[in-house]
Amino acid sequence: MQIEQLLQEISKLEPKAPAVESQKVWWTWGQLDELVQALVKMVGRSGVPQDGRVGLLLRNRAGPIAALLTCVVSGRCAVGFNPLIPAAKLANDIERQCPTLLIGLDTDMSAEVCDVADALAIPTIRLSDEVGVMPQWGNRFRKPPPASLERLAPETMFEMLSSGTTGAPKRIPLLRSNFNKSLESVQSLDRKRGEMGLRLRSGTRLQTAPLTHMSGLFTVLMTLAEGRKLALMEKFSVGEWVDAVERTLPRVVNLPPAALQMILDADIPKERLSSLVAIRSGTAPVDPSLIDEFRERYGLPVLVQYGATEFSGSVAGWEISAFRELYDQKRGSVGKIQPGIEARIVDGDSQAPLPLGEKGILELRGRQVGDATDWVRTTDLASLDEDYYLWVHGRADGAINRGGFKVHPDEVVAALQKHPAVREAVVVGMDDARLGTVPVAAIIAAAGKVPPTAEELKIFLSEMLSPYQMPVKYVFVGDLPRTPSMKPALPAVKEMLTEHAT
């Protein structure tokens, strides 16, 4: 069954049952569906063509989720916008994309957003945060803006912004067919567990990843399609997250590595997380030592997943049973390649396939990757073992060219984070008049530890790195600039280090 059918049928099973907790208030399936149906009618009467791109101001609230479901069940392309960025920047993004229609919370329709919508003749629909309050027209135009009709997207389900980790975020089209293939992968696992069937399921999934990020979008749609309850958090903080865990009692949660480290640093008592049986992670590389510490402190497996926006979800990952049986043998792996996906490692220069166990560039093909017939090259350095488990060793496209020597930042970061006084590190290339580019490290000290000196770090790293890999400078910071998915935002880190040097 396709995602659009599942969502429509699930919502009709038990209309009075709780579906989504938004700002600590539960919306029932019936209340959510009532809002979706109202939006479907408004969009249908708006004059927007079926393959027009519908702009959504997305945040982790029930109203924007209903707007997303509206696009999914009516077969329209949704274009996500982040209302948490500065209003002028958001207005510029809307102007560049020029959707045929814009839907968002009334509180997110700032003067700048309304001005650009009026100037481009983009109709707007305003949503309320209150349960049972129906959407209202903001402005209404008889025809969609002419510029929007030049960018129709009949096969696209969602235009998703990339994470912006290594540069300016770019929009990537997620095809409806590829998303449904990801859904098939999830359903095949359910069949193995004997969990198939159209029904509401017990348990709650706690959502911290933003809807503007692939992991957030995928989790929301899959959770609701499975008939599970969804509890929303707009931003991760340790205290609020722990309170939400105790309130909603989820069994499995998704958290980025930075959040895992924050929980460890806060020394949260084990009994406060007693409902959990596992944690999924993977929006950024997860240090194996972090997984080890979480297992030791809380007895919880950290199930790493590997995927990308372009793949409409995960293509490799750990399941609980496999983790318990095999993780100690395959420590550091991001999990097994999923059914329906092929993977191989190729030489970066010759593009020739490499033997199992050797490092090279990861290539994938399969039902949710590209056209499912051609190999798709990633930007990751990786290796595979004989059981089809995958290790990711860093990015192949982020090398720092230091006077002709290539420095891979992930290798330097991995070495730095082995130091007991280093909680998190980022290494970026900074301009150098003599060598072109040199590595510089931004470091967050571990809680309760005295930051080591530059000389101490050099001595420590010399046992693991070559001289040309050594950072020329170590800057200790309170925190790092981050993307919405809590990855370090490398362009902003470079800007911060540039300002620090002046």
Asked if 370 and 412 sit in the same domain, the reply is no
What is the β-pairing status of strands 18-22 and 229-232? parallel
Asked if 52 and 75 sit in the same domain, the reply is yes
**Mean pLDDT across the stretch 324-351?**
92
- Asked, for residue 209, whether it belongs to a domain, the answer is no
Which domain CATH number covers 452? 3.30.300.30
Query: Has residue 468 got a pLDDT over 60?
Result: yes
* % residues pLDDT > 90 (the chain): 60
Q: What is the mean pLDDT of the chain?
A: 88
Q: Could you give phi then psi for residue 404, rounded to 5 degrees? A: 100, -15
Asked if 149 and 32 sit in the same domain, the reply is yes
Instruction: Give the model confidence (pLDDT) of 104-135 as tens digits.
Output: 999 999 999 999 999 998 999 999 999 999 99
Which pair of structure tokens corresponds to residue 316?
């490799």
* % residues pLDDT > 70 (the chain): 93
Do 49 and 152 form a contact (C-beta atoms < 8 A)? yes
- Asked, for residue 32, whether it belongs to a domain, the answer is yes
- Asked, for residue 82, whether it belongs to a domain, the answer is yes
* Cα 470 to Cα 400, 473, 477, distances in angstroms: 12, 9, 19
**Of residues 36, 41, 71, 40, the one with CA closest to residue 56:** 71
Instruction: Give the model confidence (pLDDT) of 136-155 as tens digits.
Output: 999 877 666 766 666 777 78
Which domain CATH number covers 155? 3.40.50.12780
Do 396 and 381 form a contact (C-beta atoms < 8 A)? yes
**Mean pLDDT across the stretch 226-241?**
93
Quote the pLDDT of residue 417.
Answer: 94
Instruction: Give the model confidence (pLDDT) of 62-83 as tens digits.
Output: 999 999 999 999 999 999 999 9
Do 124 and 138 form a contact (C-beta atoms < 8 A)? yes
Asked if 352 and 463 sit in the same domain, the reply is no
Quote the pLDDT of residue 127.
Answer: 97
List beta partners, residue 341.
366
In the chain, the amino acid numbered 183 is L
- Asked, for residue 444, whether it belongs to a domain, the answer is yes
Report how far residue 83's alpha carbon sits from residue 426's, in angstroms, rounded to the nearest whole number: 27
* Least confidently predicted of 48-57, 114-123, 401-410: 401-410
Considering its fold, how many domains does the chain have in total?
3
Question: What kind and span of H or E run contains 35?
Answer: helix 29-44
When pLDDT is cut at 50, 70 and 90, the band that residue 502 belongs to is low
Asked if 298 and 340 sit in the same domain, the reply is yes
Report how far residue 393's alpha carbon sits from residue 410's, in angstroms, rounded to the nearest whole number: 7
What is the β-pairing status of strands 376-384 and 389-395? antiparallel
Asked if 141 and 244 sit in the same domain, the reply is no
Report how far residue 53's alpha carbon sits from residue 74's, in angstroms, rounded to the nearest whole number: 12
Do 302 and 281 form a contact (C-beta atoms < 8 A)? yes
When pLDDT is cut at 50, 70 and 90, the band that residue 94 belongs to is very high
> Domain end: 395, 426, 458, which one?
395
Asked if 349 and 461 sit in the same domain, the reply is no
**Of residues 219, 303, 297, the one with CA closest to residue 264:** 297
Query: Has residue 190 got a pLDDT over 60?
Result: no
What is the β-pairing status of strands 360-366 and 341-346? antiparallel
Domain of 446 in residue numbering reads as 400-501
Query: Has residue 471 got a pLDDT over 90?
Result: yes
> Domain end: 149, 176, 203, which one?
176
Bigger pLDDT: 416 or 395? 416
Report how far residue 152's alpha carbon sits from residue 286's, in angstroms, rounded to the nearest whole number: 38
Contacts of 262 (CB under 8 A, 6+ apart): 236, 238
